[in-house]
Chains A and B, each alone.
Chain A
Amino acid sequence: MADPPLIQLTGITRIYGSGEIAVHALDGVDLTIEAGEFVAIMGPSGSGKSTAMNVIGCLDSPTGGQYRFNGIEVAGLSRDQRALLRRHFLGFVFQGYNLLPRSSALHNVELPLIYKGVGRAQRRAAATEALGKVGLAGRAHHDPSELSGGQQQRVAIARALVGDPQVVLADEPTGNLDTRTSVEIMEMLQALNRDEGLTIVMVTHEADMAAYADRLIWMVDGRIARDEPTRKAS
């Protein structure tokens, strides 16, 4: 029997509020993502990209529909159970980096391992390795305030990677960066996907960045309007 798909959304809706003022942020989304894919999501502002990412990332529960992660039905899980899913299988990269201020890069990268209950020495080693992977071995003891935007985002990527997740979810990871730095980040994500088989789902507003992915999903008004391979992949 074949493995269930990594991510499988069926008829997912997410409605904010109710009655007259109800906002259908997601309005029946069907989406399947297999392990090893690099997917970009694009679409106009307010089309539901971030909402979809939150649902996929188990940060949010859909109002309706079915979401199976590795075959597990997420909708029925409690808050704490979803936390466990995130802890063990998911990594996040945010537009605003979201690093702990006044904590070293190393400590930031260690953080997910603390919650995983990994011992101190092992944690140090893994965090150092992850920082090396994103080219920041020499910056381990710097605070975020001492790092450039690109460097901070690389720390965030190291943090997403350190727990060995099955998927990395990145919501506009290059949104705050200049083009040259954005390209560096995208090349890094692409390499991780290609060389380590890491599954990546990324939201972006820039077609140039989406081009690094293999598959492009276009959202409009809470629905998937198009779903196609990128030019590069085809």
Chain B
Amino acid sequence: MLWETIRLAIQAIFRNAMRSFLTVLGVVIGVAAVIAMVTVGQGSTRQVTADVEKLGTNIVMVLPGQDTMQGGPGGTADPMFTLAINDAVQEQIAAVALSAPISQSRARVVFGNENRRTDIIGTDNRYFEAARWELQRGRLFEPAEVQSGKPVCVIGETVRDSLFGNADPVGETVRIKALSCEVVGWLKSKGASTFGSDQDDFVILPIRTYHRRIAGNTDVSTLFVSVRDGASIQRTMDDITLLMRDLRRIGRGEEDDFEVVDMKQFATMLSGITDILTGLLSAVAAVSLLVGGIGIMNIMLVSVTERTREIGIRLAIGAQARQVLLQFLVEAIILSLIGGLIGIALGLGLAILGARWLAIPFTPDPGIILLAFGFSALVGIVFGYFPARRAARLDPIEALRHE
């Protein structure tokens, strides 16, 4: 009997396929929105976590100015760092494993007929180690090359790809502004970061080469510091702050003119934000699911009225109230489940597109999919019950007389 009821419901749904589709559109949109939101949200959270892992969880960055990470004022007015400051951080704080000086700007790098605008970074081998870069081919800098500022460079995968295609870049000479430099190494790709920025789009020069031939000054814009295993990140940050204040002669009561940022903290904060956003958007999507349920109820009520005579016939030939109730309830549930399935497919499709667009991993969560499926069944039950009960309570004589 239940099987018969399900078959009947499916027949009734497909007999009026267009209307059925419009009926469930609300559920389709609601489920699709929830699935897409949650999937993309989880993907970006996972990306942030992966980024932190790739970066290492023990990285601290020192930047000139205040609130630079929050996009506040600063940077330009406050003095840059110097190599001497970097050396002091490296040597005077025991918990610092590596402190790499970084200077960077944007410039065009040219090879043959190809060229690309990219980040030109001046640093030394400590940066490769601290940031966990690995070589794809070639080598890093020789100490002598760093000391004397030789025209050599290490390039990222994106630059290699756009300048050299499939060819091996090692040993070739590229040009940056007036500088001709030899490519000595090529780094393994790290892929895109959380917000889609390409992490492999750069050319790295020894910092003295950069100072002399690209920047024309000896400024250092960032200290990229890795903290020794087992050492407290917070303590190290405090030590760096004290040392920096001393080195930059900041008086008691004066504000810092630099900032020390814990990358892990930063990343955690970012993923916290994505979680909150995901939650909010999902709540909005859930409301649209509710609206979808009301749409189903509405059409089911119309359907009960339209089919009053049919209900009368069924009652007259011996259908019991609960059988009529079940018929309409099953119809609403199946309708809602079909909407849920379409919505899940659509939501996953949107999530694939979104993940590609944001360059984050596509991570469908079976739990959420199951939940969405269950929720659409629930919507069918809740919003199908009232119309179904109305059908079941019809008086057979009056129902038969209905036009």
Contacts and interface: CB of A to CB of B under 8 A. Distances in A.
Interface string A89-113: 0101010001111100000000110
A94 B15 contact: no
Contacts of A80: 320-322
B314 A111 contact: yes
A37 to B, nearest CB: 22
B321 A98 contact: no
Interface string B319-330: 111110000000
Contact of B318 (A54, A88, A101): A88
Contacts of A101: 310
Given A98-B309, A98-B312, A117-B1, A60 B317 contact: no
A112 B316 CA distance: 10
A124 interface: no
Given A94-B400, A98-B400, A114-B1, A86 B318 contact: yes
B215 to A, nearest CB: 81
A159 interface: yes
B313 A83 contact: no
B397 interface: yes
Interface residues of A, number: 27
Contacts of B319: 83, 87, 115
A59 interface: yes
**Residue of A88, A112, A114 with most chain B CB atoms under a 10 A cut-off:** A114
Contact of A83 (B1, B15, B310, B320): B320
Contacts of A117: 1
Nearest to B5: A114
Contacts of B323: 115
A79 interface: yes
Given A114-B4, A117-B1, A92 B15 contact: no
A111 B396 contact: no
A111 B397 contact: no
A84 interface: yes
B315 interface: yes
Contacts of A92: 316-317
A111 B1 contact: no
A83 B400 CA distance: 15
Nearest to A113: B317
Contacts of B313: 98-100, 111
Contacts of A94: 400
Nearest to A110: B4
Contacts of B317: 86-87, 92, 111-112, 115, 159, 163
Contacts of B314: 111, 115
A163 B312 CA distance: 18
B15 to A, nearest CB: 6
B310 A100 contact: yes
Given A80-B320, A86-B316, A86-B318, A60 B397 contact: yes
A222 to B, nearest CB: 17
Interface in A187-213: none
Nearest to A57: B316
Given A59-B397, A60-B397, A100-B310, A84 B318 contact: yes
**Residue of B312, B314, B315, B396 with most chain A CB atoms under a 10 A cut-off:** B396
A116 B319 CA distance: 9
Interface in A110-134: 111-112, 114-117
A99 B313 CA distance: 8
A136 to B, nearest CB: 18
Interface of B: 1, 4, 15, 309-310, 312-323, 396-397, 400
Given A80-B321, A115-B317, 13 more contacts: A59-B316, A59-B396, A80-B320, A86-B318, A98-B313, A100-B310, A101-B310, A112-B317, A112-B318, A114-B1, A115-B318, A115-B323, A163-B318
Closest 10 pairs (CB-CB, A-B): A87-B318, A86-B318, A112-B317, A80-B320, A83-B320, A115-B318, A98-B313, A59-B396, A83-B318, A59-B397
